[in-house]
Amino acid sequence: MTMAQRADVAIVTGAGGGLGGAIAARLIASGLHVVATDLSQDALDGFRAAHAPDTDRCTTAILDVTQKTAFARVLEEACDTLGSVEVLVNCAAVTKTTPLFDISPEEFSAVMDINLRSVFLGSQVFGDYMRSQGYGRIINIASLAAQNGGTATGGHYAASKGGIVTLTKVFARELAKDGVTVNAIAPGPLDVPLLSEILPEGARDKMPDMIPVGHLGDPAFIGKLAVMLASREASSMTGATLDANGGLYVR
């Protein structure tokens, strides 16, 4: 395969989960080669069985997103086996609903490490690499909670997602001259299993009535937004946060 024919390579963190898996699946369908990463091999095996059983455009790797050395290892392995990496999607996250005054310092730090520290480390490792190559796309998954302070989620989750929006701007400004764009997507409530896990019993069924458009968001559509931001045509869009919240937050 010549370089002109070679598919761009995307690293997706948290690909073993609902939204991360949906994004990774859309990127594969669009023609990219995806390295799906997660902390759980079982989750990655489940993703591959569900979304990429018959394609050679998907590989998997274990990744602890709280460790800079782990990001560096995944980058090195991807470059060794696939030639280079063009796209990073920072999607790995943990969602907690602990009441504000019950959040312990340890829980606060744990949420920040997984949700925000991971975006910083991934953007630092891959951003430095991408600028040396003169091209790259970094896509960070934020949240409606970053903009409205959170409703069904905890204050630490909302704060971590707000930090992602800010980091997106910081890295976008730093890397703009190097052909690397950095953008974020801020989904509202999505139709994923996690929603039932974090809401009280019966609350999920009532959620559509609270959303102006009348239904939960489609994770596959978030995947389509990621495909757009990952494209080579998206060269003039950087530092932006795309809202996909059903009208719950309008600006």
Given the residues 129, 135, 157, 249, select the one marked as catalytic.
157
Residue 129 a catalytic site member: no
Distance, in Å, from the CA atom of 55 to the CA atom of 222, rounded to the nearest integer, reads 22
Sequence-ordered list of residues with C-beta below 8 angstroms from that of 201, at least 6 positions apart, any chain: none
35 DSSP β-pair partners: 11, 59
- Report which secondary-structure segment, H or E, holds 139: strand 136-141
Describe the crossing of helices 18-29 and 219-230 by its angle, rounded to 10 degrees.
50
62 DSSP β-pair partners: 38
In 3-state terms, what secondary structure has residue 219?
helix
Sequence-ordered list of residues with C-beta below 8 angstroms from that of 211, at least 6 positions apart, any chain: 188, 189, 246, 247, 248
Active site residues: 157
